[in-house]
Copies of this chain bind each other. A is one copy, B any other.
Amino acid sequence: MKNSLGTSVILTLFGESHGPEIGAVLDGLAPGIPVDEGFIAAQLARRRPQGRTDTARREPDAFRIVSGVFNGRTTGAPLCILIPNTDTRSADYEKNHGLARPSHADYAAHMKYAGYEDWRGGGHFSGRITAALVAAGAVALAALSAKGIRIATHILQCGEVRDKDFSEFPAELDLVNGKDFPVIRPVEVEMEAVILAARERSDSVGGIIQTAVSGLEAGLGEPWFDALDSVLARALFSIGGIKGIEFGSGFALAGMYGSQANDPFCLQDGQVRTRTNHSGGIQGGLSNGMPLVFNCAVKPTPSIAQPQQTVNFLTGEEAVLHLVGRHDPAIIRRICPVVSALTAIVLCDQLALRHGTDYLR
């Protein structure tokens, strides 16, 4: 489905970095879900560049909902959200057209679209599109919240600075969701220092972000290709900057013995739980009632102001690229609400499939 995701609740994205508007269509939502435009605006604000660590491209994200909402609630028809692009500077890109930005999609897109792609600012590959995704995801997040399901994403690692893992649910989730710079321990200043130091050197940093979901029932997902980890990973790898995903203890499990890695079951207040959560809440592709926890590896922002070796794919010659303009030395902070939004949309789809289209009303 290319730019669409989901089976019963379906997200479709469109738009380009330098086009007039970007947008998202969210189809299959239960009718009757309250739509709070203030909450959408707040989620967009979390994704928006701000402060000292972000790109200088600043846009108000003046979204408008053109369908699917009536009297403040979803109607059950497709909900379309549009966001105009305002602060575009295509001229910055024109002089470098043909010079493949390293670790960007430029060259691969040129090979796929034979030169017809809108190359200004990354076109349809741009992280700008995630604004529409965050807006749509806000509706999903609110619907889940009304069912007691909370989602939060924090920066687990930036440079060598590391936050703690989620361990108290849902307290830490609420804590993180209340912060502009989403971390559990007070490591903002240290992480910002890493980012600013990189900017100083015309460089950029990556990091690891961690997402948790509390309040999720057991039995969501499917055994094989709609396994909960499968559908989440499909959604999350759509973000160009994410290069790795691990559920629970993930890659660390590779070095453990079964006797260490297995999560023993126990009873807590009459409920079946596991004593540890190395599985990250998923066993055999199904949620097991424990908090869902996964980490995403985010590569350093590939746009850096240093000169870089590259190829001009229009002339077929090697060249040196001097990127000008406004770069993000790190997108890890801004990617957090995107991952939460995608997670929310995937879970809405799963719940609608299991319990029917009206479940999330």
B117 touching A274, Cβ below 8 Å: no
Q: Which bracket fits the contact residues of A?
A: 35 or more
Pick the contact of A13: B124, B224, B230 (CB < 8 A).
B224
Given contacts A272-B313, A353-B356, 13 further A-B contacts (CB under 8 A): A2-B28, A3-B78, A8-B8, A23-B66, A68-B124, A70-B117, A103-B258, A103-B261, A112-B286, A157-B254, A227-B240, A231-B234, A238-B285
Give the residues in chain B near A67, CB-CB below 8 Å. 14-16, 19, 21-23, 124
B-side contacts of A224, CB under 8 Å: 2-3, 5, 13, 129, 238
Does A222 sit at the interface, judged by CB under 8 A? yes
Question: How does the 8 Å CB contact mask read for A88-122 relative to B, with 1 for contact and 0 for none?
Answer: 00000000000010111101110111101110001
Q: How far is the CA of A172 from the CA of B105 in the complex (A)?
A: 28
The CA of A306 and the CA of B258, in the complex, are separated in Å by: 10
**Chain copies in the assembly?**
4
Interface membership of A311, Cβ < 8 A: yes
What residue of chain B has the Cβ atom nearest to residue A156's Cβ? B254
B residues within 8 A CB of A114? Answer: 31-32, 358, 361
Which among B28, B234, B267 is the interface contact of A311 at CB below 8 angstroms?
Answer: B267
Asked whether A70 lies within 8 Å of B118 as measured between CB atoms, the reply is: yes
Given A108-B219, A230-B235, A76 and B113 contact (CB-CB distance below 8 Å)? yes
Q: Which residues of A from 1 to 28 have beta carbons under 8 Å from B?
A: 1-5, 7-8, 10, 12-16, 19-23, 25, 27-28
Residues of chain B within 8 A (CB-CB) of A31 are 112-114, 116-117
Pick the interface stretch among A40-48, A49-57, A179-187, A201-209. Answer: A201-209
